[in-house]
Amino acid sequence: MHTHNIPVIAIDGPSASGKGTVAQLVANTLGFHYLDSGALYRLVALKTMQTHTDITDITKLAEIARNLAVVFENNKIFLEDNDATNAIRTEECGILASKLASYPPVREALTARQRAFCQIPGLVADGRDMGSVIFPNAPLKIFLTASAGVRAQRRYKQLNEKGINANIADLLRDIEKRDAQDSNRSVAPLQQGTDARLLDTTTLSITQAKETVLAWYTEICANK
């Protein structure tokens, strides 16, 4: 089966917007596969830190991205057989991921790996460039966001639940820094595409956000 026949719901948006949670819930409801593309960039960052690789050596960084031995299994992420699920969620890892993600060779090295997630019966893909670059033919493209303050609170809660210490003011500063870095880079910048629907979740619950995505998808399928 050609991958262009497989439905993709592309959910892009800024850091800590809740798009990962919403995307996973939508994927579970529809029985679709789920791609957390940010996790791939975070894994490249983790491996870069573990190997003390020079973060200006773009060739080496792209090599890390190309050869990453990753397994996504039952909500866990393994890097070379080691459980990296929590290790990739630190702010340090997120900030480095954002930096490495600005290098085109690193992005190119991850492209085929991301497209390989597109399998029947369908895929929900979350990231920054899912609709614009990785799955440009996706029938439903969403730009999911929330105010920076609400995102900092959500990230705080998420980290707390994982037993990771955090401070709201620091998180807000990191989120604003990362927004600026992800939005201002020259390749695949974070922005709402003209063909993407805006889903502002500042005042929505996770369930309301999920229901909105499902309603949009139902509407698209009905109009096909």
- The stretch near ligand DC (CB under 6 A) out of 34-42, 46-54, 191-199, 206-214 is 34-42
Alpha-carbon span 187 to 82, nearest angstrom = 31
> For ligand DC, which is the closer residue by CB, 7 or 13?
13
Min separation Cβ 54 and ligand DC, Å: 19
Min separation Cβ 20 and ligand DC, Å: 7
For ligand DC, what does the binding mask look like between residues 63 and 82, x meaning CB under 6 A?
A: --------------------
Alpha-carbon span 80 to 138, nearest angstrom = 31
Tokens of 2: 């050609």
DSSP secondary structure letters along 139-153: SEEEEEE--HHHHHH
Min separation Cβ 218 and ligand DC, Å: 26
Alpha-carbon span 183 to 107, nearest angstrom = 15
Token match 């998808």: residue? 217
CB 94 within 8 A of CB 42: yes
- 162 residue type, one letter: K
Contact between 128 and ligand DC per CB under 6 A: yes
Tell me whether strands 140-145 and 197-200 are parallel, antiparallel or unpaired.
parallel
All residues at 6 or more sequence positions from 187 whose CB lies less than 8 Å from its CB, including other chains? 102, 104, 107
Which one among 98, 132, 145, 201 touches ligand DC, defined by CB under 6 A? 98
- The stretch near ligand DC (CB under 6 A) out of 33-41, 58-66, 160-168, 199-207 is 33-41
Residues between 176 and 195 with contacts to ligand DC, criterion CB under 6 A: 178, 182
Alpha-carbon span 97 to 56, nearest angstrom = 13
Contact between 7 and ligand DC per CB under 6 A: no
Contact between 101 and ligand DC per CB under 6 A: yes
Min separation Cβ 135 and ligand DC, Å: 11
Contact between 97 and ligand DC per CB under 6 A: yes
| Site residues (vs ligand DC, CB under 6 A) | 15, 37-38, 41-42, 94, 97-98, 101, 127-129, 178, 182
